[in-house]
A and B are shown apart, each in its own frame.
Chain A
Amino acid sequence: MRYLLALLKRFHFFFFFLLLEVIAVLLIVRHTNYQRATIINATNELTGGVYSTFTGVTEYFSLKQTNERLTREYAELKNVSPGAYYVSDTGSFYVNDSLFKRQFRYRPAEIIAKTIDKRNNYLMMNKGSRMGVAKDMGVVSHNGIVGIVVGVSKNYCSVMSLLHKQSRISAKLKKNNQLGSVVWNGMDYRHATLNDIPNHVNINIGDTVITSGYSFIFPSNIMIGTVKKVELPPGENFYDITIALSTDFSVIRHGYIIENLMQQEQRKLQGETTDD
């Protein structure tokens, strides 16, 4: 016993070090399981408040770009408003409105914190459960896909960026609907990899890659990027494709959170049919 105490006394520094490291590792492991762990820390009201205040100040620096973007979007909206269309004779045809059942709802939100240079990147946005945001909703910007909501608090949500080890987006080539998946290899925030395209498919540089709509999270036909480099490793059946992402993760400040109103129904059906 005395020997043990002497040992403890001699190496107390080392033991204290071990204790702290064990605590840290426990925290990491609990947190790494990102689906189950409620990301308390990221979506915590305290850190959210600090980031909001800071963004409130820095926002002034980009007012000019924000205005330009707004006018552009306004013009686009004008283009599709009823006033921009020629009104044909309403008696000659008839629109059955029940054909169009709404599936996706878009909520605008502001990005108040983000990283792009880690291996696993997250964003924090200023809409939370109070505004109807929930886990597993998609996030897009005005020119492409951004990520998926992985945690919500009352007023904030934490978004797993496309630039993440675990993100995998179901995608297709626009010109021939060939299905693939987009993952990020961790080097450059402007580029990602498109997998699972077999070697018989005709693919060219500049081809557009869009979401497939098979994931229940994103609607189909949302822009992901364009093909930048195509390689066929010898002896492989699938191409190595690098795509240039259309979203510029380093400058985005605003995004839209997409709610799939039929997600529950789709998941339920999928559960029923795959269980047996």
Chain B
Amino acid sequence: MINYGKHIILFFICIFIQVLVFDGINFGGYIDPYFYVFFILVLPMETRKWTLLFTSFLLGLGVDLFSNTIGMHAAAATFMAYMRPKVIQYLSSRRDYDAGMQPLIRDMGFRWFFSYSFILVLLHHITLFFIEVFRFSEFLTTLYRAGISTLATLLVIILTQYLFFYKKKRR
């Protein structure tokens, strides 16, 4: 059973935190954490693929509205959502997961979550940065920027998990 209310609130929190906090922060000139993809990462396992794609599209569009990049985040987020089921399948081919599980460190373990989010966030960032630059002449620079930002985003996402999503397990 999916808790819809919680996810709708998380949707808006992700957009506003991205726009008001993370768009204002930059480490060392060009490191850009795109925290909002957190929402796409943590949607429950049994979310229907259609819902997954469409909410991701809306999420990207929401961020776009504020950052003057109309369509870019939407395209990257949709691509990420499209890849998500494939990555989950690839990573958990031997492992079963229960219906109520979310792809979190709490439920899946650190190593699983790290590879899962690393692949997806990297895909998202590469797509986003290449759409933004829109030319291949700065190929290595763009790749470098995408890679560095991926690490920043991952760091923030993993910290968020330990801060806000870890309580239940201890009981």
Name A residues whose Cβ lies closer than 8 Å to a Cβ of B.
Answer: 13-14, 16-17, 20-21, 23-32, 39, 41-42, 44, 46-47, 50-51, 54, 113, 115-120, 122, 124, 158, 165, 186-190, 250
Contacts and interface: CB of A to CB of B under 8 A. Distances in A.
B78 A117 contact: no
21 contacts: A13-B49, A14-B82, A17-B82, A20-B53, A21-B75, A21-B78, A24-B75, A25-B71, A26-B71, A27-B64, A31-B71, A44-B65, A50-B20, A116-B29, A117-B30, A118-B32, A118-B69, A119-B142, A186-B133, A186-B138, A187-B29
A255 B49 CA distance: 47
Interface string B15-26: 000011001001
Nearest to A42: B68
B72 interface: yes
A13 to B, nearest CB: 5
A28 B50 contact: no
B160 interface: no
Interface of B: 19-20, 23, 26, 29-32, 49-50, 53-54, 57, 60, 64-72, 74-75, 78-79, 82, 129, 131-134, 138, 141-142
B71 A186 contact: no
B94 to A, nearest CB: 24
B29 A41 contact: no
A25 B68 contact: no
Nearest to B72: A28
Contacts of A17: 53, 78-79, 82
A3 B56 CA distance: 30
B26 to A, nearest CB: 4
A24 B60 contact: yes
Given A24-B60, A28-B72, A41 B53 contact: no
Contacts of B72: 24, 28
B141 A187 contact: yes
A21 B50 contact: no
A140 to B, nearest CB: 21
B82 A117 contact: no
Given A13-B53, A115-B23, A120-B132, A24 B68 contact: no
B32 A16 contact: no
B53 A28 contact: no
